[in-house]
Amino acid sequence: MKNKLVCYFSAAQSEQPVVYRLIKNYDLIINILKADINPQKEGYLVIEVEGERDKYEAGVSFMKSMGIIVDPLSETVLWDEQICIQCGACASFCPTEALAIDRESMMVSFDNAKCVVCGMCLDCCPTRAIKLHFEIKEAV
């Protein structure tokens, strides 16, 4: 199975080689998507974890046993209307028509409810008006 997780950890936990343990002891494939550690060494790690179900579950239990808070990742696509120049390139790559062009006004609009966060739009936007946003808790 494969899942994206947000792991919040304290200063003491950040000293531990967590990712190394997940790979070495639980045979999991770890892809670090984002990491943010503040000067007090607290922070979070956004990882994609892939492996057999029992090992995946054991790995997550291991992290929880260390006091790390593990949450499923919720990603959203953000479209910044201020940066967008309305070229419309994104709409032709969006598989769900979440990004769509009104053919009268030729204006682009974004419907978050239709978005499946495939990320196709991120690469084709020349102004980088579309960003992937990880839902991260403010403080732990």
Partner 1 sequence: MAYQKSYEEINEKIKRGEAVVVTAEEVIDIVAEKGVAQAAREIDVVTTGTFGPMCSSGAFINFGHSKPRIKMKKVWLNGVEAYGGLAAVDAYIGAAQLPDNDPENNVYPGRFTYGGGHVIHDLVARKEVRLEAIAYGTDCYPNKQVDTIITLDDVNEAFIFNPRNAYQNYNCAVNLGDRTLYTYMGILKPRIGNASYSTSGQLSPLLNDPHYKTIGVGTRIFLGGGIGYVAWNGTQHHPNVLRGENGVPKVTAGTLAVIGDLKQMDPNWLVGLSYIGYGATMAVGIGIPIPILDEEMLLYTAVKDEDIYCPVVDFHEGYPYSKPIDLGFANFKELKSGRIEINGKSVVTTSQSSYPRARQIAAILKQWIQKGDFELSRPVAPLPSAEANIDFKSIPERKPDGNGLSGRNRR
Binding residues for partner 1, per CB under 8 A? 85-89, 91-93, 101, 103, 105-107, 123-124, 126-128
Task: For the CB of residue 110, give the shortest distance to partner 1 in the complex, in Å.
Answer: 15
Q: How far is CA 123 from CA 76, 111, 113, 127, in A?
A: 16, 19, 21, 10
Task: For the CB of residue 123, give the shortest distance to partner 1 in the complex, in Å.
Answer: 5
Task: For the CB of residue 116, give the shortest distance to partner 1 in the complex, in Å.
Answer: 18
**Rounded to the nearest 5°, which phi and psi values hold at 4?**
-105, 130
Q: Which C-beta is closer to partner 1: that of 133 or that of 137?
A: 133
Q: Which of 133, 131, 127, 132 is nearest to 83 (CA)?
A: 127
Cα–Cα dist 136/24, whole Å: 27
- Kindly tell me the burial class for residue 138, based on how many C-beta atoms sit within 10 Å of its own C-beta (0-12, 13-18, 19 or more): exposed
Task: For the CB of residue 12, give the shortest distance to partner 1 in the complex, in Å.
Answer: 36
Q: Which C-beta is closer to partner 1: that of 88 or that of 134?
A: 88
Q: Which C-beta is closer to partner 1: that of 16 or that of 109?
A: 109
Q: Which C-beta is closer to partner 1: that of 12 or that of 118?
A: 118
